[in-house]
Amino acid sequence: MSTSYQVTDGVAVITLDNPPVNGFGQSTRAGVVDGIAKANADSAVQAIVITGAGKVFCGGADIREFGTAKMAAEPSFHTAITAVEQSGKPVVAAIHGVAMGGGLELALGCHYRLVAPGTQIALPEVNIGIVPGAGGTQRLPRVLGVETALQMITTGASVPSEKLAKAPGQKLFDKLVDGDLLAAAIAFAKDVAAVRPLPSVRQLSVAAPADAELFAKTRADLAKTRKNLEAPQRCVDCVEASTRLDLDAGLAYEQDVFAKLVTSDQARALRHAFFGERAASKIPDVPDNTPLRDIKKVAVIGAGTMGGGITMCFLNAGIPVTLLEMKPDAIDRGVGIIRKNYEAQVAKGKLAQEKYEQRMSLLTTTLSYDDIAQADMVIEAVFEDMGVKSQVFTKLDSIMKPGAILASNTSTLDVDKIAEVTKRPADVVGLHFFSPANVMRLLEVVRSKHTAKDVMATVMAVAKKIKKVAVVSGVCDGFIGNRMFEQYVRQGFFLVEEGATVQQVDKAAEAFGWAMGPFRVGDLAGNDIGYAIRKRRKIEQPDVIYSPVGDAICELGRFGQKVGKGWYDYEAGKREPVPSAEVQACIDKVRADKGITPRAISDDEIVQRLVLAMVNEGAKILEEGIASKASDIDMVYLTGYGFPVYRGGPMLYADMIGLPKVVELMKGYAANPNGDPAFWTPAPLLAKLAAEGKTFTGGKA
């Protein structure tokens, strides 16, 4: 059993003991039920305390049980919490560190609750596409009021215990205990041992919200902030139900909603994202106990767009940075942008002035390599040019202390070749940040064939410190993210060539859930980037066919928002895309040149072709070992490319369509009058998995 039971001075102490976070798994639940029964049967016991071993009370459901029979096995959450609530002897929860999800729901079943300051209190279920399923939506409004409970349940945000304990009228905590919590809980339990009837959250009622429109307004807000997500809306339904139903009817209502959501596609996708993020930090051939290099000081080369953002990531994490540039004015410009970014955060109240100053005090600038020689890790973010990068790495090789990690932020160059410039290729790794680097969560860690395992383990740990989701990619053109995105954009061009409009493609992609369609992204990032890449590819891979529409608009100088025209027109100073007659004329000309009679293309076909174009490339990436698992590919897309999180990423999306169906759709696209059979030849891995009835992500087909 993952609990212990001990009687101290007439008080039975049940300790949840299921590392790492005392998850409320089946054996922990059984331990609680047994402990309550034992204590009630023992005449020497007057009262009961439930506490957690180690640093936390209880982090909620045991995630190792997700998707297994154990999750719903008896004693269920309800059985365990009911046993606590119906105990004839008082049960006091002693809560410290973390009380989340099922952990908080367990505490809400207790008669009394004592809490240590600094405890994180949350019902985070909404983040995995469900509602709290063990009474949270009915009991939390009873103790905190409908407004606070609604906020917590719909966002899943954690709130510090002292903030909740100090809220007027709150009934969540009986006492905030600064000091020995368990001793205080035992003393408290003895004090209340004779109290009858025992207090219970069950007896409390929920007052209607002061604002009669609260639920309607919250639904409308969530429809914007958590667009297309089902669970936040259902959380509102449940909390609203608590205002009109008694506890048992409310619990039944919550259970019904929970049961429907837990098997939904959105919940599956969000669970996949949740586990995918944890799995991404594991590298199959790099053991967890690999010794790490100590990274206390970092240097960044180049104070441009990326160098500045990367520097901020480290300053934010309290790691000192020396920023190196070629000229003083480049330093001034780079540091000026960093300051401006922080000042904007201070002005918005998101960053304390004092913290801003603290962060800036960690920044040193220099024009001399001598000043960075002792750094533990250096990240190069200079121009994307092999000649320039070679010079920088040769210099780094000659001056950096032994054991320093030499990283490059290159987006397209061969990290193997960069490593080979040095005499210490094992210390070289790619760290591909995304712009703006201080905001975007994704970090592609590019593992060259030379990179040492301890360098990989170290950069994964550093990534965690700077709050990035690190995904390992092998060396290839575009790594995981851009290599697949290239196919998505390429397919977007074919779609307009065949008959869709630029606006239709973007709108269909946006309705699917992308933040922006491919053409709006092109205009934002600059169409000249893809133009240059295509020029190079046409030489390197002459057999890969592109629609000429992309090049045609660039030949008209339509590089995007920065020049006021791209796939769309832009009025001066505005970012609103306006359909362009010049672009349409360009497309018409391409159609005429190729003899294409435009046809109507459905939004469904557009979305599927865009996503399946990426999926086919993803299958190749998996097969080549560039990504070690499908969930890594999905994490790249969820954290770096705005793929809708509730769809779980392109590879899970394909799994949910069913791989045999994906293959069939591709065959259909290849047979279109203007379809490209080469483009739509299923990658061998995709064809194989489809034939075997398997999936990319290993889940059910």
Q: Which residues are catalytic?
A: 105, 125
Angle at the Cα of 643 from the Cα atoms of 639 and 648, rounded to 5 degrees: 85
Q: Provide, rounded to whole angstroms, the least separation between the CB of residue 326 and ligand NAD.
A: 5
* Residue 477 found at the interface with ligand NAD (CB under 6 A): no
* Residue 330 found at the interface with ligand NAD (CB under 6 A): yes
- Which residue number, 361 or 435, has a Cβ lying nearer to ligand NAD? 435
Binding window for ligand NAD (CB under 6 A); candidates: 65-73, 297-305, 586-594, 602-610: 297-305
- Which residue number, 461 or 525, has a Cβ lying nearer to ligand NAD? 525
Q: Provide, rounded to whole angstroms, the least separation between the CB of residue 516 and ligand NAD.
A: 15
Beta strand 11-16 pairing with 3-8: antiparallel
- Which residue number, 220 or 367, has a Cβ lying nearer to ligand NAD? 367
* Residue 409 found at the interface with ligand NAD (CB under 6 A): yes
Residue at shortest CB range from ligand NAD: 304
* Residue 326 found at the interface with ligand NAD (CB under 6 A): yes
- Which residue number, 195 or 515, has a Cβ lying nearer to ligand NAD? 515
Q: How far apart are CA 69 and CA 55, in angstroms?
A: 28
Q: Which amino acid is at 209?
A: P
* Residue 302 found at the interface with ligand NAD (CB under 6 A): yes
The only residue of 381, 419, 421, 614 in contact with ligand NAD, by rule CB under 6 A? 381
End-to-end Cα, the chain, rounded Å: 35
418-423: list long-range contacts, CB under 8 Å, 24+ apart. Answer: 418/386, 418/389, 418/390, 418/393, 418/448, 419/448, 419/450, 419/451, 420/450, 421/389, 421/390, 421/393, 421/394, 421/397, 422/393, 422/394, 422/396, 422/397, 423/397
* Residue 383 found at the interface with ligand NAD (CB under 6 A): yes
- Which residue number, 324 or 470, has a Cβ lying nearer to ligand NAD? 324
The only residue of 28, 411, 503, 616 in contact with ligand NAD, by rule CB under 6 A? 411
Strand partners, 48: 12, 91
Q: How far apart are CA 320 and CA 333, in angstroms?
A: 20
- Which residue number, 315 or 619, has a Cβ lying nearer to ligand NAD? 315
Number of residues near ligand NAD (by CB under 6 A)? 24
- Which residue number, 329 or 540, has a Cβ lying nearer to ligand NAD? 329
Q: Provide, rounded to whole angstroms, the least separation between the CB of residue 435 and ligand NAD.
A: 3
The H or E element that residue 4 is part of is strand 3-8
**Residue 667 phi/psi, 5° resolution?**
-60, -40
Q: Provide, rounded to whole angstroms, the least separation between the CB of residue 411 and ligand NAD.
A: 4
Q: How far apart are CA 360 and CA 335, in angstroms?
A: 9
Q: Provide, rounded to whole angstroms, the least separation between the CB of residue 496 and ligand NAD.
A: 25
* Residue 353 found at the interface with ligand NAD (CB under 6 A): no
- Which residue number, 246 or 385, has a Cβ lying nearer to ligand NAD? 385
Q: How far apart are CA 114 and CA 172, in angstroms?
A: 9
User: What mask of x and - would describe binding to ligand NAD in positions 429 to 448, judged by CB under 6 A?
Assistant: ---xxxx-------------
Neighbour count for residue 161 (Cβ, 10 Å): 25
What DSSP character marks residue 114?
E
Per residue in 111-150, is it b (16+ CB within 10 Å) or e — as a string?
bbbbbbeebbbbbbbbbbbbbbbbbbbbbbbbbbbbbbbb
* Residue 384 found at the interface with ligand NAD (CB under 6 A): yes
Q: Provide, rounded to whole angstroms, the least separation between the CB of residue 470 and ligand NAD.
A: 15
* Residue 303 found at the interface with ligand NAD (CB under 6 A): yes
Q: Which of 335, 473, 340 is nearest to 410 (CA)?
A: 473
* Residue 307 found at the interface with ligand NAD (CB under 6 A): yes
Output the CA torsion sign for 122, 125, 128, 129. negative
* Residue 304 found at the interface with ligand NAD (CB under 6 A): yes
Burial (0-12, 13-18, 19+ Cβ within 10 Å), 166: exposed
Contact 319, 360 (CB under 8 A): no
Q: Provide, rounded to whole angstroms, the least separation between the CB of residue 330 and ligand NAD.
A: 4
Q: Provide, rounded to whole angstroms, the least separation between the CB of residue 389 and ligand NAD.
A: 7
- Which residue number, 102 or 307, has a Cβ lying nearer to ligand NAD? 307
Q: Which of 430, 470, 442 is nearest to 282 (CA)?
A: 470
Q: Provide, rounded to whole angstroms, the least separation between the CB of residue 198 and ligand NAD.
A: 60
The only residue of 238, 379, 382, 521 in contact with ligand NAD, by rule CB under 6 A? 382
Helices (H) and strands (E) in the chain, counts: 28, 19
Site for ligand NAD in 632-651 (CB under 6 A): none
**Residue 114 phi/psi, 5° resolution?**
-110, 145
**Taking the CA of residue 698 as centre, how many other CA atoms within 13 Å lie in the half-sphere pointing to its CB?**
8
User: What mask of x and - would describe binding to ligand NAD in positions 578 to 617, judged by CB under 6 A?
Assistant: ----------------------------------------
Q: How far apart are CA 174 and CA 188, in angstroms?
A: 10
Contact 100, 122 (CB under 8 A): yes
- Which residue number, 40 or 412, has a Cβ lying nearer to ligand NAD? 412
Contact 189, 90 (CB under 8 A): yes
Q: Provide, rounded to whole angstroms, the least separation between the CB of residue 426 and ligand NAD.
A: 22
* Residue 259 found at the interface with ligand NAD (CB under 6 A): no
* Residue 473 found at the interface with ligand NAD (CB under 6 A): no
* Residue 301 found at the interface with ligand NAD (CB under 6 A): yes
* Residue 410 found at the interface with ligand NAD (CB under 6 A): yes
- Which residue number, 352 or 367, has a Cβ lying nearer to ligand NAD? 367
DSSP string covering 363-395, please?
Answer: EEEES-GGGGTT-SEEEE---S-HHHHHHHHHH
Q: Provide, rounded to whole angstroms, the least separation between the CB of residue 324 and ligand NAD.
A: 6
Q: Provide, rounded to whole angstroms, the least separation between the CB of residue 475 and ligand NAD.
A: 15
* Residue 136 found at the interface with ligand NAD (CB under 6 A): no
**Phi-psi region for residue 249, left (φ > 0), alpha (ψ -120 to 50) or beta?**
alpha
* Residue 341 found at the interface with ligand NAD (CB under 6 A): no
**Residue 195 phi/psi, 5° resolution?**
-65, 130
Contact 637, 483 (CB under 8 A): no
* Residue 365 found at the interface with ligand NAD (CB under 6 A): no
Angle at the Cα of 677 from the Cα atoms of 674 and 682, rounded to 5 degrees: 135
* Residue 388 found at the interface with ligand NAD (CB under 6 A): yes
Binding window for ligand NAD (CB under 6 A); candidates: 5-13, 168-176, 303-311, 576-584: 303-311
The only residue of 392, 429, 462, 601 in contact with ligand NAD, by rule CB under 6 A? 392
Q: Which residues bind ligand NAD (CB under 6 A)?
A: 301-307, 324-326, 330, 381-384, 388, 392, 409-411, 432-435
